Amino acid sequence: MKVIDTALPGVRLIEPRVFSDARGFFLESFSARRYREEAGIEPVFVQDNVSRSACGVLRGLHFQRTRPQGKLVQVIEGTVFDVAVDIDPHSATFGRHVAVELSADNHRQIWIPPGYAHGFCVLSDTALFQYKCTEYYDPADEDGLAWDCPDLAIPWPIRDPILSDKDRRHPGLKEWARALKP
C-alpha cells in the first residue's frame, strides 16, 4: 500500500494494493497490523457506517465536540470530493483543509484522525460511502461548520448542493471558534 502524508498533521491518503484480473479485483480494505506498520495508524475502530447519496448531495462538515471520531473513509461505489478541516484552535493549521477525490475506481482511502471536521459531496449519479470510526456516534455531541464558510475557502466542485436542514444551519469557522471561548 502507498501512504501519502497531506498538508494536515496526521491526515493520510492511502492507496491500497489492488489485485485485478478479468474476474474483477481484490483489495485489503483494512488490516490493523499493516496500517500500524506501514501507515503509522493504530486506531481501535468501534463503529462502521455506510451511506448512499445521490449526485449533488453534500454531507458535512461534521465532527463531535468532546468525543471526536477518527475516520477511515472510502467509496465503494461512485465518486466523491472528500474534505477534512483542522478545527483545533491551537493548531498551526487551524482552519486549513485537505480535499481529495475518492472513488470506486481509484480505491483510495483517507485517514482523518480525531480533531478534524469532515464532509463530502457526491460527484457521480450515486455514491456508496463507507467509514470506520474510532468513537461511537453521539447525537448530543455532534457539531458542524458551514460547508460554504468563506474562511475555509473549500473549492467544492458543485455550486448548489443538496443539504440537510441541519447542515444548512452550521456556523462559520470564526463564529464557531468564538463560541468556544468562555
> Is 35 a catalytic site residue?
no
Q: Which amino acid is at 27?
A: L
Q: Phi and psi of 124, rounded to 5°?
A: -95, 180
Residue whose C-alpha is closest to residue 167's, from 78, 88, 53? 53
Which position among 62, 97, 118, 170 bears the catalytic label? 62
How far the first Cα of the chain sits from its last, in Å, is 45
Q: What cell numbers appear for 90 in the block?
A: 491551537
Of 35, 97, 118, 131, catalytic: 131
Report the DSSP beta bridge partners of residue 121. Answer: 58, 81
In whole angstroms, give the CA distance from residue 133 to residue 68: 10
In the chain, the largest separation of any two C-alpha atoms, in whole Å, equals: 61
Determine which helix (DSSP H) or strand (DSSP E) holds 180, and give its type and residue range: helix 173-180
Residues acting as catalytic residues: 62, 131
